[in-house]
């Protein structure tokens, strides 16, 4: 099967799809035939990504959705609005470029809420939806960052630990 068609008829969900790595992931998934839900905290950014996605393959349809990955209610609202995705990519993340001596506690808390808790909430909600509908398989991919290894930024390294702790367990 060629790359351009291997994801036809698959629904994919990408958090952080409004910019950066998330936008690139959306573009790649769409180019391989997937229908993409571009989820981002910024409606404008999500829509910007969505309108630029390839949609000329059979059955392709994309949508933009607003989600605050740090809010369980927002995540639940998003996941219940769509059918369980075959592929989910956790790409939402923020940085607060402050060193330990200068970082405010509220900045640290926000980074942890988005980068670590957000990955947990999306992973949990999608996994629950897949199990509830009896899906035979599904892929949940969490994008971390090399920053987690270089600067010991726990919010960036945390999603890797979260993913490995929950992979292939049901």
Total count of domains within the chain: 1
Give the CATH number for residue 113.
Answer: 3.40.50.720
For the segment 60-109, what is each residue's pLDDT rounded down to a tens digit? 899 999 999 999 999 999 999 999 999 999 999 988 766 777 888 898 89
How far is 144 from 154, CA to CA, in rounded Å?
10
Looking at the whole model, is its pTM more than 0.85?
A: yes
Residue 33 lies in a domain: yes
Residue 170 lies in a domain: no
Would you say residue 31 lies in a domain?
Answer: yes
In a domain, 169, yes or no: no
Q: Is 157 domain-assigned?
A: yes
Question: Does 1 reside within a domain?
Answer: no
Q: Which domain holds residue 123?
A: 11-163
Which residues have a Cβ under 8 Å from the Cβ of 2 and sit 6 or more positions away? none
Residue 168 lies in a domain: no
Asked if residue 6 is part of any domain, the answer here is no
Contact 87, 13 (CB under 8 A): yes
Distance in angstroms (rounded) separating the CA atoms of residues 54 and 68: 26
Please tell me the least confidently modeled range out of 29-43, 111-125, 130-144, 154-168. Answer: 154-168
CB 117 within 8 A of CB 70: yes
């Amino acid at each position: 099967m060629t790359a351009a068609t291997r994801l036809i008829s698959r629904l994919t969900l990408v958090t952080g799809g409004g910019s950066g790595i998330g936008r690139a992931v959306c573009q790649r998934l769409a180019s391989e035939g997937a229908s993409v839900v571009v989820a981002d905290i910024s409606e404008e950014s999500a829509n910007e990504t969505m309108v630029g996605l390839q949609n000329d393959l059979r059955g392709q349809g994309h949508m933009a959705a607003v989600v605050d990955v740090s809010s369980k209610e927002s995540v639940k609202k998003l996941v219940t609005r769509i059918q369980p995705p075959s592929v989910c990519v956790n790409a939402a993340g923020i940085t607060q470029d402050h060193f330990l001596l200068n970082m405010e506690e509220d900045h640290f808390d926000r980074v942890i809420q988005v980068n670590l808790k957000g990955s947990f909430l999306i992973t949990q909600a999608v996994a629950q939806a897949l199990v509830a509908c009896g899906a035979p398989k599904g892929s949940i991919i969490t994008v971390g960052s090399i920053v987690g290894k270089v600067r010991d930024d726990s919010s960036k390294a945390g999603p890797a630990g979260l993913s490995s702790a929950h992979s292939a367990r049901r």
